[in-house]
Amino acid sequence: MDLDGIDSHSIQYQNANNSVRVTDEFMQAVAEDREWTFRAVKTGDPVRTVRARELWRQMATASWECADPGLQFDTTINHWHTASNTGRINASNPCSEYMHLDNSACNLASINLLKYLDDEDRFDVDAYKHTIEVMFTAQEILVGNADYPTESIGETSRQFRQLGLGYANLGALLMAQGMPYDSEQGRAWAAALTSLMTGHAYATSARTAARMGPFAGFDHNREPMLRVLDQHRTAAGAIDERAVPDDLLVAARQAWDDAVELGAVYGVRNSQATVLAPTGTIGLMMDCDTTGIEPDLALTKAKKLVGGGTMFIVNQTIPRALKNLGYSPAEVDAIVGYIDEHKTIIGAPALRAEHLPVFACSMGDNAIHYMGHVLMMSAVQKFLSGAISKTVNMPEDATIEDVEQLHLESWRLGLKAVAIYRDNCKVAQPLSTQKKDGAADSDGAPIVERIVEHVIVQEPVRQKLPRTRTAKTFSFRVADCHGYVTVGEYEDGRPGELFLQVAKQGSTLAGIMDAFAISVSHGLQYGVPLEAFVRMFTNMRFEPAGMTDDPDIRFASSLVDYIFRRLAVEYLEPAHRAELGVLTIGERMQPTLPGVDEATTPSSASLDLPMEDRAPSAVLDQPPARPTPTYTSSREAEVVLCHNCGDIMQRAGSCHACPSCGSTSGCS
């Protein structure tokens, strides 16, 4: 792709994962503050020279500002390459976990680790191994039965048979057992689980090769394949045996002994066995509290309700962890209730300070330090065929120097790839923290409320009309322009399309109205309510305008004005039309607004007595005779102002007409 040409305009960079591939040579130049020479890709000729740390600062600044680019360490990646005699690893998938030959593919599958804790919270090693065998074998079967985007990808994938077994819910597994994610014990557990998964997968692959034969490229790549397997076995010997149960550690090391020995005899059926994918979607389907290798993002989950609103649920791992840490049922209930109310565990009743790291999350007021993420990745990377798709979360106040140091340590710790995300460095993010109004801890610091916000960018969906539908057609005349309107309807009677025919076919007006009708039809089918069109297009003024032949709409200020008044009369309720100012003649002729009854209050009858029966002084109280007044009817006295120009309108029958602009109240 040409990033300087027209290709760049077809890319939405905020929706892409951008990475930079660097070598050990470049990293040494950064560490020693030496110069770095850019070379042409094809010829190797020098192009220009810069200070390595200046380029390093530019990459770190970009990552600090917008979380891109991530880094991929090319030398490390190819050091663990199982088919290096065929070709080097030049790139990865967008999430950076699958790295192998060009024009190849890998099908992924993940295991929910939390399912292997029994009722007494002991890890079932045998069940875990059985799952690895079944899932890995199923993935192997899929290789020969899958479809691929191109023939070259299909050919390479069938020859090298790359697989990507992985896991999810590691963070929940560690929390459930009362282990902090950022701890030596947590990293030892993760290393042992990953070592057993990959080692047993390769042993299964070797046993399959004994019956089916190794992958097609094995003989050509025998040396790098067996070398990488031995590198994995060596790394398994360094797992901290004090922090891991004996049965898990023994199984993890035995799996590599089997893989190396069987691989040397039979070869292996698959050139790659494992990766750690994000598992965002499948993690949700498997009811995982955490995805991939990630720690918990928050102690509460937000569940959107069908009828509207959001319900927060405390993660079910928390009560299990509190129980294993020795809390009583009453204390567990109190702590869970506190989390549910305050969205944080800080300040929870009865919680001991030494247990706070167990419940640390990626973000929020009890966050794992960003180097804790890097150290966890380093603990498991040496036991994976591919790499790790993971985000290292950094606080908003992290500096560019912090990003530089994180990238440098990631390289030194042997990671194949690393990506960071500094809180609030993008315009929108799916997860954020929010301070709870008016709440503060004992030191006066504001309590941070954990909010899980699901940002869903919803594309408009077009609801097409059925192939056979009902329609209404009506003719109209506005001034000297005659035409027809046809309205196609959905099954529930809503309008869904509009056809307009005016004047003579082929005229400019006819073409414009055709295009206008198509745009309105698409709007209706994409969910724009008819009321919005009526509100926008009624009272528009342009020629042709004038008298109509419609008994309900006698005057129109334009074709568009008439059409949408007619549609409003046909499809909108009277109350809605009244709000929009669209009324029929019958509705306008009512003495009051529709639905309002006119009422009068009769006056009390006066008591008139004959003069002879009145008091003598009554004659003196009589008012002098007055001339009989002439009354003006209320219809003649009322003043109606034009809604268009503001001039006084004149009565025309039962309605009013403006002498200045010709507008009427709708019936003349």
Average pLDDT of each block of 10 consecutive residues along the chain (668 residues)?
Answer: 55 66 96 94 92 96 92 97 96 92 94 93 96 97 92 96 96 95 96 98 97 96 97 96 95 97 97 92 83 88 63 82 94 92 90 94 89 97 96 93 97 96 71 47 47 48 86 87 89 89 71 87 89 89 87 87 90 85 76 48 47 48 47 46 65 69 63
CB atoms within 10 A of CB 265: 9
Same domain, 111 and 165: yes
Active-site option among 93, 221, 315, 393? 93
Active-site option among 32, 35, 95, 145? 95
Distance of CA 576 to the CA centre of its chain: 35
Q: What is the predicted pLDDT for the residue at 663?
A: 72
Residue 380 inside a domain? The answer is no
Q: What is the predicted pLDDT for the residue at 513?
A: 83
Domains contained in the chain, number? 4
Long-range (24+ apart) CB contacts under 8 A made by 342-348 are 342/436, 342/439, 342/447, 342/449, 343/298, 343/299, 343/300, 343/312, 343/436, 343/449, 343/450, 343/451, 344/299, 344/447, 344/448, 344/449, 344/450, 345/299, 346/441, 346/447, 347/441, 347/442, 347/447
Residue 88 inside a domain? The answer is yes
| Domain final position from 561, 578, 593 | 593
Active site residue 393: no
Written as six digits, the tokens of 399 are 């500096």
623: helix, strand or coil:
coil
31: CB partners within 8 A, 6+ apart: 408
Active site residue 95: yes
Same domain, 133 and 251: yes
Distance of CA 360 to the CA centre of its chain: 25
Q: What is the predicted pLDDT for the residue at 666?
A: 60
| Domain final position from 593, 612, 645 | 593
Q: What is the predicted pLDDT for the residue at 50?
A: 95
Active site residue 140: no
Same domain, 443 and 477: no
Active-site option among 17, 97, 145, 324? 97
Same domain, 192 and 95: yes
Residue 215 inside a domain? The answer is yes
Q: Which residue has the tokens 């002439």?
A: 630
Same domain, 555 and 663: no
One-letter amino acid at 625 equals A
Helix axes 370-381, 400-412, angle to 10 degrees: 20
| Domain final position from 593, 615, 646 | 593
Q: What is the predicted pLDDT for the residue at 527?
A: 86
Residue 418 inside a domain? The answer is no
Q: What is the predicted pLDDT for the residue at 284?
A: 77
Same domain, 549 and 583: yes
Same domain, 306 and 258: no
In terms of residue numbers, what domain contains 265?
16-285
Nearest to 194 by CA among 216, 217, 162, 168: 168
Residue 280 inside a domain? The answer is yes
Same domain, 270 and 332: no
Same domain, 224 and 143: yes
Q: What is the predicted pLDDT for the residue at 305?
A: 60
95: helix, strand or coil:
coil
Residue 369 inside a domain? The answer is no
Written as six digits, the tokens of 286 are 């498997």
226: helix, strand or coil:
helix
Same domain, 250 and 329: no
The runs of H, that is alpha helices, within 382-434 are 400-412
Same domain, 223 and 136: yes
Q: Which residue has the tokens 């950094």?
A: 394
Task: Specify whether the CB–CB gap between 100 and 156 falls below 8 A.
Answer: no
Q: What's 59's domain CATH number?
A: 3.20.70.20
Same domain, 41 and 169: yes
Residue 316 inside a domain? The answer is yes
Residue 398 inside a domain? The answer is no
Q: What pairs with residue 164 in β-bridges?
A: 108
One-letter amino acid at 448 equals V
Task: Specify whether the CB–CB gap between 293 and 190 falls below 8 A.
Answer: yes
Helix axes 317-324, 329-342, angle to 10 degrees: 140
